[in-house]
């Protein structure tokens, strides 16, 4: 398994960078369109998998709660032979709106977050087959003043 950082010729890396770009501009439809028909998004810390158009809910939820949301990408590990991309990043923003989670809604706290996250993508035929998002939820909740 050869992992590489920033391979400008990698179609898989280009796809994933485009996904983050689209999330940054809060283009929900564009985000969903990058997934395979049977693809899914798994928000591991929330314990919820999203399929089809519901995949876009994650963009909408974070855009509502953190209108200034920015995803800072630290490292991308591209395993071309396995059609896998792993991204280390942080989710950054100010909690200005309700954060709707499967377990309930957290009213705006006005606090900022810089939450570590690791995303793992599987790609099939140029589309995202699976997106597993491992957000450090306890750190995020602490930064929002809930712990």
The full set of domain ranges for the chain reads: 11-144
- Please, what is the average pLDDT of the chain? 93
Position 8 scores a pLDDT of 57
Q: Give me the half-sphere count of Cα atoms (radius 13 Å) on the Cβ side of residue 102.
A: 10
Rounded percentage of the chain residues whose pLDDT exceeds 70:
94
Q: Residue by residue, what is the 3-state secondary structure of 88-134?
A: EEEEEEECCCCEEECCEEECCCCCEEEEEEEEEEEEECCEEEEEEEE
φ/ψ bin of 5: left (φ > 0), alpha (ψ from -120 to 50), beta (otherwise): beta
- 3-state SS class at 69: coil
Task: Please give the Cα distance from 95 to 40 (Å, whole number).
Answer: 26
Which CATH number is 11-144 given?
Answer: 3.10.450.50
- End-to-end CA separation in angstroms for the chain: 40
pLDDT of residue 7: 56
Res 3: pLDDT: 45
Residues of the chain where predicted confidence (pLDDT) is lower than 70? 1-9
- The pLDDT value recorded for residue 1 is 36
Q: Is 51 helix (H, G, I), strand (E, B) or coil?
A: strand
């Amino acid at each position: 398994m050869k992992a590489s950082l920033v391979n400008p010729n990698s179609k898989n890396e280009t796809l994933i960078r485009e996904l983050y770009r689209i999330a940054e501009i809060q283009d929900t439809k564009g985000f969903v369109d990058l997934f395979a028909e049977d693809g899914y998004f798994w928000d591991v810390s929330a314990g919820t998998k999203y399929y089809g158009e519901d995949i876009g809910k994650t963009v909408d939820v974070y855009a509502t709660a953190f209108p200034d949301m920015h995803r800072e990408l630290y490292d991308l590990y591209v395993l071309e032979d396995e059609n896998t991309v792993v991204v280390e990043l942080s989710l950054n923003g100010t909690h200005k709106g309700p954060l709707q989670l499967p377990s309930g809604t957290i009213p705006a706290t006005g606090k900022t977050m810089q939450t570590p996250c690791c995303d793992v993508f599987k790609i099939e035929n140029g589309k995202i087959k699976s997106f597993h998002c491992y957000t450090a939820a306890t750190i995020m909740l602490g930064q929002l003043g809930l712990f």
